[in-house]
Amino acid sequence: MWLGTQCVNAQGHLEIGSCDAVALAEQFGTPLYVLDEEALRARCREYRATFAALKQDVTIIYAGKAALNRAICQIIAEEGLELDVASGGELYTALQAGFPRERIHLHGVYKTDDELRMALEAGIGAIVLDNFEEIARLRALAHAHNRTVPVLIRIAPEVEADTHPLIRTGQRDSKFGFHWLNGDALLATEQVLNAPELHLKGFHCHIGSQISDLSAFQAAAHAMVAFAAAVRQQLGYTAPLLNLGGGLAARYTPDDQLPSIQAYAETLVQALRTACQQHNFPEPALAVEPGRSLIAEAGITLYRVGAVKRVPHDHPHLPREYLIVDGGISDNPRPQLYSARYTARHVSRASAPHDRPYRIMGKHCETDPIIDCALLPETRAGDLIAILTTGAYAYSMSSNYNRYPRPAMVAVRAGTARLIVVRETYEDVIRHDQ
Ligand code: LLP
């Protein structure tokens, strides 16, 4: 499984962005996040071109929670995408990177007054409203600042996507958005339409993440158009925009069955058109908010193996040879949180047959498998391994657990490696201790 610009070079080493991964590890140390800049840019272009060929008025908004730093903001801005930020910290990052303000959208189930004020003062493109308290607080702030704020209203479309329960967000018991069944969504729309401080741009939904069954997106599109049509009938407001969120799956293992961006785009646009015809609703502009499917496959993590252990367990499905590497839960908590699966590659013997089963364990003070059964060539202490598809929700969910400093991140492209996030130091780890 090779992704983006990954390949094997003449030395038999893993190469990414035309950079030798052994050399990257030597120059920048391990663990190391490596971002394949060309792969990320190509994916941005593919998203834009695919949707543009099907529908004229589509906006692609990168969901920054997947991975955000100033360099990534700049890449996303250069590729002409908009940006979804989910917190004051993400907004601050975008503003510091000079991301065009009118292309920023603020999300969140509890945006504090400080976060709302920051968004308001920056004059961002839209705030996506999530609850009644927020409508009241934003109105008061907008009033005090004498501003009219562009907003969308987040709706829970009651679609249960087939994914890990912790990353499902549009189902009936979801904490996100306004529900239609209990009347909240309609009431929120009425409140916003009657608020002179708010300008309603349309409706938003997001049903979850790592979704490969396109019928869930189809169902969400239908639910959103049905809701917009009900609003039109009952309140006389015709939504000019529907943002259907992100959620398309990325490839983590060779046996992942994934729809293409083409199939995803066709499904969304077709569902939108069919639903609009059924409800006699004028076709609105469309926005999508991919995070993972834009950046996950562009990232890898390089680790160095510190020990190889033969463990005398009798579990039939787990390898008995364990590799202990110099990272784990603090740089990628996804295996623990969601039982996420990954693929490993031996870095210096990348073209050797990967047929020997290993359990790859992190170095933290708990049982923290990174991959339960990874296939690699014979691997020894000191060897480098790469975990693929760590571009999304790895650095962004990292921690200082066990007081490990966070790794560095380099962006590689056309044979050049650019340090975009420096490695934390022990000084950084104690920086806030009093
Ligand atoms: N829009 C909204 C409002 C979202 O909440 C999310 C993700 C996205 C877009 C982007 O979804 P994506 O295209 O990346 O699936 N930490 C979890 C994933 C949480 C996703 C949260 N929301 C994980 O590591 O799997």
Cα separation, 123 vs 103, in Å, equals 10
Residue 119: give its domain's CATH number.
3.20.20.10
Q: Is 365 a catalytic residue?
A: yes
**Judgement on whether residues 314 and 397 belong to the same structural domain of the protein:** yes
391 touches 345 (CB < 8 A): no
**Judgement on whether residues 229 and 121 belong to the same structural domain of the protein:** yes
Say how many Å lie between the CA of residue 433 and the centre of ligand 1.
Answer: 32
DSSP 101: G
Query: Residue 414's CB: how many other CB atoms inside 10 A?
Result: 10
**Which residue pairs from 45-50 have beta carbons closer than 8 angstroms and sit at least 24 positions apart in sequence?**
45/79, 46/261, 47/81, 47/261, 47/288, 47/290, 47/294, 48/79, 48/80, 48/81, 50/261, 50/262, 50/265
**Judgement on whether residues 173 and 220 belong to the same structural domain of the protein:** yes
- pLDDT bucket at 175, cuts 50 / 70 / 90: confident
Say how many Å lie between the CA of residue 50 and the centre of ligand 1.
Answer: 21
The amino acid that residue 422 corresponds to is V
Residue 186 has phi, psi (to 5 degrees) of -70, -45
The pLDDT of 34-38, averaged and rounded, is 98
**Judgement on whether residues 179 and 212 belong to the same structural domain of the protein:** yes
Of 416, 426, 428, give the one whose Cα is nearest residue 34.
Answer: 416
Asked whether residue 71 is assigned to any structural domain, the reply reads no
pLDDT the model gives residue 373: 97
Percent of the chain with pLDDT over 90: 94
pLDDT the model gives residue 164: 79
Domain count for the chain, please give it. 2
135 touches 194 (CB < 8 A): no
The residue nearest atom 24 of ligand 1, judged by CA position, is 393
Cα separation, 301 vs 408, in Å, equals 10
Asked whether residue 266 is assigned to any structural domain, the reply reads yes
**Judgement on whether residues 262 and 381 belong to the same structural domain of the protein:** no
The pLDDT of 223-245, averaged and rounded, is 98
- pLDDT bucket at 176, cuts 50 / 70 / 90: confident
* Each residue's pLDDT tens digit, 116-164: 999 999 999 999 999 999 999 999 999 999 999 999 999 998 888 778 7
**Judgement on whether residues 249 and 340 belong to the same structural domain of the protein:** no
**Judgement on whether residues 374 and 322 belong to the same structural domain of the protein:** yes
SS (H, E, C) 265-304: HHHHHHHHHHHHHHCCCCCCEEEECCCHHHHHHHEEEEEE
**Structural domain of 171:** 107-290
pLDDT for residue 204 is more than 80: yes
Least confident interval from 208-212, 328-332, 404-408: 208-212
Structural domain ending residue among the three candidates 231, 261, 290? 290
pLDDT the model gives residue 158: 83
The pLDDT of 328-351, averaged and rounded, is 97
DSSP 339: -
pLDDT for residue 168 is more than 80: no
- pLDDT bucket at 171, cuts 50 / 70 / 90: confident
**Judgement on whether residues 278 and 354 belong to the same structural domain of the protein:** no
Residues with CB under 6 A from ligand 1: 63, 65-66, 84, 107, 167, 206, 209-210, 245-248, 289-293, 334, 338, 392-393, 397
pLDDT the model gives residue 288: 98
355 touches 331 (CB < 8 A): no
3-state secondary structure (DSSP) of residue 228: helix
**Judgement on whether residues 286 and 300 belong to the same structural domain of the protein:** no
* Each residue's pLDDT tens digit, 368-389: 999 999 999 999 999 999 999 9
Residue 388: give its domain's CATH number.
2.40.37.10
Say how many Å lie between the CA of residue 293 and the centre of ligand 1.
Answer: 10
Structural domain ending residue among the three candidates 257, 290, 323? 290
**Judgement on whether residues 313 and 284 belong to the same structural domain of the protein:** no
Asked whether residue 187 is assigned to any structural domain, the reply reads yes
Ligand 1 nearest atom to the CA of residue 211, by list position: 15
Asked whether residue 45 is assigned to any structural domain, the reply reads no
* Each residue's pLDDT tens digit, 244-268: 999 999 999 999 999 999 999 999 9
348 touches 22 (CB < 8 A): yes
- Among candidate residues 19, 44, 205, 365, the one labeled active-site is 365
The amino acid that residue 305 corresponds to is V
Q: How high is the mean pLDDT of the chain?
A: 96
The pLDDT of 178-184, averaged and rounded, is 93
